[in-house]
Structure 1
Amino acid sequence: MPKIIPFKAIRPTRDKVSLIASRSYDTYTKSERKARLENNPYSFLHIVNPGYKYHKVISGEERFNLVRNRYLEFKEEGIFIEEHQPSFYVYKIINRDAEEFIGIIGAASVADYQNNNIKRHENTIKQREEVFKEYLKATGFNAEPVLLTHPDSDELSEICNLIMHQRSEYEFTTTYRDTHYLWPVCDSKVVERIQHLFAKMPELYIADGHHRSSSSALLADDLNQQNIESSAHNYFMSYIIPESHLRIHAFSRMITDLYGMDSDEFLIKLDSIFKIENRGEEFIQPAALHNFSMYLAGNFYILELRKHHQNFNNALESLDAQILYELVLKPLLKIEDPREDKRLAYGKGKNDMLSVKEKVDQQKFAVAFSLFPAKSQQIKDISDEGLTMPPKSTFIQPKLRSGVTIYEFL
């Protein structure tokens, strides 16, 4: 029975939201960040990169404190305003491919995360958890929601549709050609009904934001030991969408060398694992689970996992990212740790195999694999069995912008 609560968001004024909203800091190239910081004084990047003001790279606790200062300046200047009463926020995104995502922004319970009512499918890195915990403690806010998913609910969809018949508070289009809409929901009866519908669900699943969730839990534990009067730190901001609105794409894998083999030797090794079809220069993507596209020595191949390798004992073993690791990357190419091995790199998101091909042709990598996207049910099954996926198993949409709604807990 997940507990999702409304909150008084700190958010941009209507006229400035398109200027403030930004992607996650690390998704920009250095030149992109520089251009936005130089040309847009309202970008949320000015808050998360406070050293720009001093033409200096600042890190650690000093940076965290300056982030807090920049944030307070935006509030003091009236760039951000505070909601009058606790609210949920219906949020819709229509991306450049005309895919539509509709969900509700609210605050999810840390206790539900700790009790596995909010389930996870990725391992987190302790050092990253601790660093982000200290960041949260210094800044006192969440600016980018964790993405949670739930089974489709006709009643929740109906509530959202009724709200969306009204004029949206925000409507803006990004340079990525995604259009974003937001409707605050403060009517007490509607708010109570939304809470009740979430509470009836047996669990929620993290789609994206494992480190943000775990860091929020660490912070809550710290602050609860200090007897902080407010309970806001026991929640973290989340964007909660139906499973049918989730879009899952795959990351490709690129490997710098064949561990001493030439391409023919490598193909012979693969033959005992896959049925192999050489498609020459024809660009090809895998069309089903347990099929892989490989680009090697100027040729595309389709690899179909042989039947005797399809005797799976759990949900993780049936995941294509795990199959590729267990049968190819580890035993043949000697990649033991896919998180740390410098010979392995990842192509990002959907439809990236053309750029991957270019990198192989330039001999930056020897071979590349494209995977069929995992199904949402596979992710749920892995979570339910208490297992975790290999790194970069999924690239999940939607991606929200930072700074559109902010959850203050300190």
Structure 2
Amino acid sequence: MPLIIPFAGLRPRADHAEAVAAPPYDVLSAEEARAMVAGRPASFLHISRAEVDLPAGTDPYSDAVYARARDNLERLRTEGILIQDPAPQYYVYRLEVEGHRQTGLVAAASVEAYRDGRIRRHELTRPAKEQDRVRQIAALDAQTGPVFLVYRAAPQIDARLGALCNEPPVIDITAGDGVRHQLWPVADAEAIAALTADFDALGRLYIADGHHRAAAAARVADERRKAKSAGTSSHGASHGASPDAQAPRPSEHFLAVLFPHDQLRILPYNRVVSDLNGFNPEAFLARIAENYQVEPSAKPVAPKARGEVGLYLGGQWHRLQLRVDLIPADDPIGRLDVSLLHDQLIAPLLQISDPRRDERIDFVGGVRGLSGLSARVDSGEMAAAFALPATRMEDLLAVADAGAMMPPKSTWFEPKLADGLVTHLLD
């Protein structure tokens, strides 16, 4: 099974693309999503966050939300705002913002490759969030949020994608956050075959973001395969097999966008904590100084070096630098900055052993800036904030190659992909 195949995407008509495109469903709060859809009946948030059309306080995991999402998808199709391409194809997708550009490919990625490790993970999933995506896919009979995949940069692929961008794009919009999104369909059979072969020759892809969407797609594929097998065993022999009986069903693939690793921009994923575990600020700093060099800073600290941390505590920034002998050289997990902070400070001093479940810790994407950290401490909501260096792409690939899992909230990729530009319809 090839790593990727083309598919007949459902996408907005060019004159509706700006009205449809929306941020990913999981980067907005319910309040932010409701504000964003005001006066925008075609926004894809009516599908990805359908609770915006139900009373405030509606459980986002209720049956009514998934039913409304399906109704809204059908409405946009009936109104001709979303149309399906007549034949399978790829789509070149480019994002630009503030001088940064990344060019990738929208494709259907193989669930089989995900299962056998040719599409590699680096994070664990949370059951409730994964189940939400399973129900969303089942309700819509579609995958609407792409899984963000990375491949080790290959000049031949980059050149081929660049050449496909020479014609005017069918979609060219700039979102409210200043990110430009462009899309070029690739319908030429030779170009499709070449891209399929080029990516298959890589042998391996990596999930950058979208672990829950990939895991949910695999579960839906399993459920549909079992249902098909049960139906075939009961009825198939008497009716005969169709010529396409062995062809993979759409549910055996998931919606994905693939980018080369050297074009991506990772921002820090910072931490805030609600208390100091009984320490006063002076005692807390004294304990930190046992393993870190601690220096007050007159300016906000944006760390860059491995083991460096910015601490905001009591209205004051501090620069922390971990002792070199505490940074493992050959442990792909242990040397991550998120691991170093957890292992050397958060777990032993604050007694937060499971950051996935402990409500005393929260995570702040680097797009919020250092002011997003200090504001939460100054408001009294949090006791301290920790600014981290961004996870290095080489570290992410090393963790995935080792078959290991990163700590939660290790990476924040920016710019974010838009939801709604291409949807993958299932059976």
TM-score range, shorter chain: over 0.9
- The answer to whether the 8 Å contact 1:250/1:370 transfers is yes
Indicate the larger mover: 180-189 or 134-143. 134-143
CA distance in 1, matches of 2:352, 2:69: 39
> Structure 2: how far apart are the matches of 1:159 and 1:394?
28
Distance 1:233 1:316, change over 3 A: same
Residues 324-343 of structure 1 aligned to structure 2 (within 5 Å): 324-343=341-360
Given that residues 2 and 204 in structure 1 are in contact (C-alpha distance below 8 angstroms), is that contact kept between their aligned partners in structure 2? no
Matched with 1:161 is: 162
Sort the Cα spacing of 1:358 and 1:103 in 2 relative to 1 into closer, same or farther, 3 A. same
CA distance in 2, matches of 1:317, 1:49: 36
Count matched residues. Answer: 408
Q: Which amino acid aligns with 2:89?
A: S
Shift of 1:128: 2.4
Instruction: Find the counterpart in structure 2 of residue 85 from structure 1.
Output: 87
The answer on whether the counterparts of 2:33 and 2:49 sit within 8 Å (CA) in structure 1 is no
- Residues 214, 53 of structure 1: CA spacing in aligned structure 2 closer, same or farther, 3 A cutoff? closer
- Alpha-carbon distance in 2 for matches of 1:287, 1:397: 17
Distance 1:372 1:359 in 2: 19
Write the letter of the residue equivalent to 1:364: E
Task: Give the 5 Å matches for 1:342-357.
Answer: 342-350=359-367, 352-357=369-374
Change beyond 3 A, Cα 1:69–1:358 = closer
Partner SS, residue 63 of structure 2: helix
Shift of 1:60: 2.8
> Is the Cα contact below 8 Å between 1:291 and 1:372 reproduced in 2?
yes
Q: Provide the rounded CA distance (Å) in 1 between the counterparts of 2:281 and 2:38.
A: 48
Q: Quick check: 2:179–2:415 contact (8 Å CA) kept in 1?
A: no
Match of 1:293 in 2: 310
Give the alignment of 1:205-244 within 5 angstroms. 205-227=206-228, 231-244=249-262
Rounded to whole Å, the distance in 1 between the matches of 2:2 and 2:322 is 39
Within 2, Cα distance between the matches of 1:159 and 1:313? 36
Q: By how many angstroms is 1:174 displaced? A: 0.7
Quote the offset at 1:126 in angstroms: 2.4
Deviations along 1:195-237, whole A, 9 cap, x unmatched? 0000100210000000000011111111111127661100001
- The answer to whether the 8 A contact 2:265-2:413 is kept is yes
**Runs of 4+ more than 6 Å apart:** none
Are 1:382 and 2:399 matched, yes or no? Answer: yes
Please report how far the alpha carbon of residue 34 of structure 1 lies from its aligned counterpart in structure 2 after TM superposition.
3.0
Please say if residues 95 and 101 of structure 2, whose CA atoms lie closer than 8 Å, have aligned partners that are also in contact.
yes
Q: What is the rounded CA distance, in whole Å, between the counterparts of 1:154 and 1:389 in structure 2?
A: 28
Aligned-residue offset at 1:403: 0.8
8 A contact 1:145–1:238 mirrored in 2: yes
CA shift in 2, pair 1:288/1:88, >3 Å: same
Structure 1 length as normaliser, TM-score? 0.95
Distance 2:122 2:36 in 1: 34
**Aligned amino acid, residue 209 of structure 1:** G
Task: Quote the residue 1:37 is aligned against.
Answer: 37
Q: Is the 8 A contact 1:347 1:353 kept in 2?
A: no
Partner of 1:20: 20
Cα distance per residue 1:242-276 (max 9 Å; x no partner):
00111111111111221111122111111121112
Cα distance change on mapping 1:378 and 1:48 into 2, 3 Å = closer
Q: For 1:116, give the aligned amino acid.
A: G
Structure 2 counterparts to residues 3-402 of structure 1, below 5 A = 3-50=3-50, 53=53, 55=55, 57=58, 59-95=61-97, 97-227=98-228, 231-279=249-297, 281-350=298-367, 352-402=369-419
Cα drift, residue 149 of structure 1: 0.5
CA–CA distance in structure 2, aligned partners of residues 160 and 48 of structure 1 = 29
Deviation at 1:50, TM superposition (A): 4.3
1:300–1:36 distance in 2 versus 1, CA, 3 Å: closer
**Residues 52, 251 of structure 1: alpha-carbon distance in 2 compared, 3 angstrom cutoff:** closer
Question: Contact 1:2/1:118 (CA < 8 Å) preserved in 2?
Answer: no
Q: Check the 8 A contact 1:2/1:117 in 2, yes or no.
A: no
Call closer, same or farther: CA 1:275–1:53 in 2, change over 3 Å.
closer
Structure 1: distance between partners of 2:154 and 2:326: 37
Against the structure 1 CA distance between its residues 52 and 270, is the aligned structure 2 distance closer, same or farther, given a 3 Å change threshold? closer
Partner residue, 2:235: none
On the 8 A contact 2:267/2:367 being kept in 1, the answer is yes
Deviations 1:353-410 (A, max 9, x none): 1221122223322221111111111111111222111111111123111111010012
- The alpha-carbon deviation at position 135 of structure 1 amounts to 2.1
Gaps of 5+ in 2: 230-244
Q: After TM superposition, give the deviation of residue 106 of structure 1 in Å.
A: 0.3
Alpha-carbon offset, residue 26 of structure 1: 4.0
In 2 relative to 1, CA 216–329 (structure 1 residues): closer, same or farther, beyond 3 Å?
A: same
Amino acid at match of 1:99: H
CA distance in 2, matches of 1:372, 1:170: 35
Cα separation, 2, equivalents of 1:361 and 1:101 = 37
Q: What's the C-alpha RMSD, in Å, of the aligned pairs?
A: 1.8
Can you give the 5+ residue segments of structure 1 that lack an aligned partner in the other structure? none
Q: CA deviation at 1:347?
A: 1.9
The whole-number CA distance in structure 1 between the counterparts of 2:199 and 2:48 is 32
CA–CA distance in 2 between the matches of 1:54 and 1:32?
Answer: 15
